[in-house]
Amino acid sequence: MRLYIEALIRTDPEILWERTQEPAQHQRWDLRFTEITPLPGPPEGPQRFRYATRVLPFLTVSGTGTSAGERLRADGERVSALRFTSAQRLSPLAEGSGYWRYVPTAEGIRFLTGYDYRPRWGRCGAVVDRLVFRPLMGWATAWSFDRLRLWCEREVGPARSLAYALAEVVARALLVVAALPFGPAAVLPAALAALLLPPSPRTPAARRCLRRPPGRPAATPSLLTRLERP
133 phi/psi in degrees, rounded to 5: -70, -45
Position 168 scores a pLDDT of 95
Could you tell me if 14 and 118 lie in one domain?
yes
Q: How far apart are CA 146 and CA 198, in angstroms?
A: 14
Section 56-73 average pLDDT: 86
Strands 78-85, 47-56: pairing is unpaired
Range of the domain at 168: 157-201
Q: Concatenated DSSP letters for 172-185?
A: HHHHHHHHGGG-HH
What is the structure's pLDDT at 1? Answer: 64
**What is the tens place of the pLDDT at every residue in 141-166?**
999 999 999 999 999 999 999 999 99
pLDDT tens-digit map of 81-131: 999 999 888 888 899 999 999 999 999 999 999 999 999 888 898 999 899
Helix boundaries (H) for 155-204: 158-179, 184-196
Work out the pLDDT band at 222, boundaries 50, 70, 90. confident
Instruction: Name the pLDDT band for 79 (thresholds 50, 70, 90).
Output: very high
Average pLDDT over residues 196-222: 89
Q: How high is the pLDDT of residue 226?
A: 86
206 domain-assigned: no
pLDDT band at residue 207 using 50, 70 and 90 as cut-offs: very high
Q: Are 32 and 91 within one domain?
A: yes
Residues 99 and 177 in one domain: no
183/221 same-domain check: no
Q: Are residues 84 and 176 in the same domain?
A: no
Sign (positive or negative) of CA dihedral 104, 105, 110, 116: negative
